[in-house]
Amino acid sequence: MSDESMTLLLGQPEGASYREDTASLYGRTIAALFAEKVREDGLDGQRGVVVDDEVLPYDTNAAEVPRQVGATYAALWTKAKAHAARVAAGATKKRFTGLDKPPMYGQPTLTYNEGRDYGFKRDGRVSVMTLNGRAVMAYSGYDTHTALIRDGARIGAAKLWYDKPKKRYYLLVSLAVEVPDSTLTSLTGVAGVDVGQRYLAVTSDTTGKAAVHSGKEPRQKANHLARVRKRLQRKGTRGARRRLVAIGQRERRQQAATNHTIARRIVDANPAALIGIEDLTHVRERTDPRTRGKRATKKQRTANRVASRWSFAEMQAMLAYKATLAGGQVIWVDAHYTSQACPRCGHTSRDNRPNKGLLFMCQACHYTLHADLIGAKNIALRTLLIRQDWVGTGGLSVRPDASDDEAKAARLSRYAELRWSPEASPAL
């Protein structure tokens, strides 16, 4: 099973003008969704939800507001409990700040549930629920995506997105596509992917073939938008605030497009391969904290901004589903010491990376290479080890168990015995 997303351009609702369309689909619904805080007296008997002194009935899209807010707080509470467990275990001393302020909803989207809030009809039409009842309209989309619906793909939740400059509505539909399970015979290669901030992804397979996906151009665009955002924040006018919203949306789209492109290139270069990626769960808490606030220098503030916008999880998720659709398989491996361990002799030390730079120089065998490429090679070796365990046990471990310290220590001990041989590549 693989998740695929589809974008449909919605036409004008049947029997409604554009002004009625905007009022029913966008205006009041988004105003409800964008409420800065949930009022304790937000429920007005059985009539509906109170937003800006106006009662919105439950049988409309306003019912999505408490559902989405409730889901947001449930996710934050789960994170708070996980963080409390890490504090109790002595893994971190940071304080969880996710519940200090109410959540903000800043995207012009609205979530629909299939079968209840929207549904597809015959003759290329879709029915969506609005504040004024059901609206039936025609839609258009990419032939590849619409063909998935005709072929019986399972339709999931969707998001209604309004492109305000072009005055268009888009329905972002999630699809579940049935694909055959990966087998040892169907996977013909092994590759490792190291993700980073300066080089967004570096790949290496067991034959020594490597690829580097630089983040220089996306970083330059992000730095430019940061400077523009800073000037607009100082200006503080109403037009400047509207421009800030547009810039934030543009930066998010650029980031998603970059991740899509890199994930597609990796999958195209490694078709039908077992691809290993790092398990970076809680990586932001494990890394050394940088100086923040007024004491931070300009360079430190830039580094903090870049780190906070590092979307490695999104890229890994895109890589996982794209590889599945292409007949491959993505697994997660332990990220410990991937850029500090020498793949030639196994010597592991922080001194192998002088000044924590991009140059890797083994202090034992003097093997020298780019540090991110060293990480990709080590990930490929660990992925190959997991494949060999798959051959022996008949079961594939997709993600390592981080809760068992003994099992984790045993895995790291096995990783330390791995060696990269330039003379011969492992046969699969």
The pLDDT tens digits for 282-306 are 777 666 556 666 777 877 777 777 7
Flag whether pLDDT at 18 surpasses 70: no
In this prediction, residue 46 has a pLDDT band, given cuts at 50, 70 and 90, of very low
How far apart, in whole angstroms, are the C-alpha atoms of residue 361 and residue 371?
A: 9
> Given this model, what pLDDT does residue 231 score?
93
pLDDT band at 26 (very low <50, low <70, confident <90, very high): very low
How far apart CA 379 and CA 8 sit, in angstroms, is 38
Residue 67, pLDDT score:
72
3-state secondary structure of 200: strand
Specify the pLDDT at position 73: 87
d(CA 416, CA 333): 14
Secondary element (H or E) of residue 261: helix 238-269
pLDDT of residue 4: 59
The average pLDDT across 41-67 equals 42
Q: Are 8 and 170 in contact (CB under 8 A)?
A: yes
pLDDT of residue 381: 93
Residue 212 has pLDDT above 90, yes or no: yes
Q: Residue range 224-250: average pLDDT?
A: 90
pLDDT given for residue 192 in this prediction: 95
Cα angle 287, 288, 291 (rounded to 5 degrees) comes to 130
Q: Looking at residue 322, what DSSP letter applies? A: H
CA distance linking residue 411 with residue 337, whole number of Å: 12
- The pLDDT > 90 percentage for the chain reads 27
What pLDDT is stored for residue 428 in this prediction? 56
Dist CA 338 CA 40 (whole Å):
49
Q: Look at residue 148 and tell me whether its pLDDT is greater than 60.
A: yes
Q: Which residue did the predictor score with more confidence, 45 or 107?
A: 107
Which is more confident, 202 or 20?
Answer: 202
For residue 161, what pLDDT band results from cuts at 50, 70 and 90?
A: confident
Q: Does the structure show a pLDDT above 50 at 144?
A: yes
Backbone region of residue 373 per phi and psi (left: phi > 0; alpha: psi in -120 to 50; beta: other values):
alpha
Q: Give the span between the Cα atoms of 220 and 315, in whole angstroms.
A: 19
Threshold 0.85, pTM exceeds:
no
Which of 17, 31, 26 lies closest to 169 in space, CA to CA?
26
The yes-or-no verdict on residue 194 having pLDDT over 60 is: yes
Is 270 in a helix, a strand, or coil? coil
Sheet holding 154-163, edge to edge: 109-112, 154-163, 168-177, 2-10, 133-141, 125-130, 118-121
**Amino acid 3: pLDDT:** 60
Cα(93)–Cα(86) distance, rounded to whole angstroms?
9
Length of the chain: 428
- State pLDDT tens for residues 363-418: 999 999 999 999 999 999 999 999 999 988 888 888 888 778 888 888 889 898 88
Can you give 84-95 as a three-state secondary structure string?
A: HHHHHCCCCCCC
The angle formed by the CA atoms of residues 355, 360 and 364, to the nearest 5 degrees, is 105
How does the average pLDDT of the chain come out, rounded? 79
Report yes or no: 379 and 389 within 8 Å, Cβ to Cβ. Answer: no
Instruction: Determine the straight-line distance between the first and last CA of the chain, rounded to whole angstroms.
Output: 25
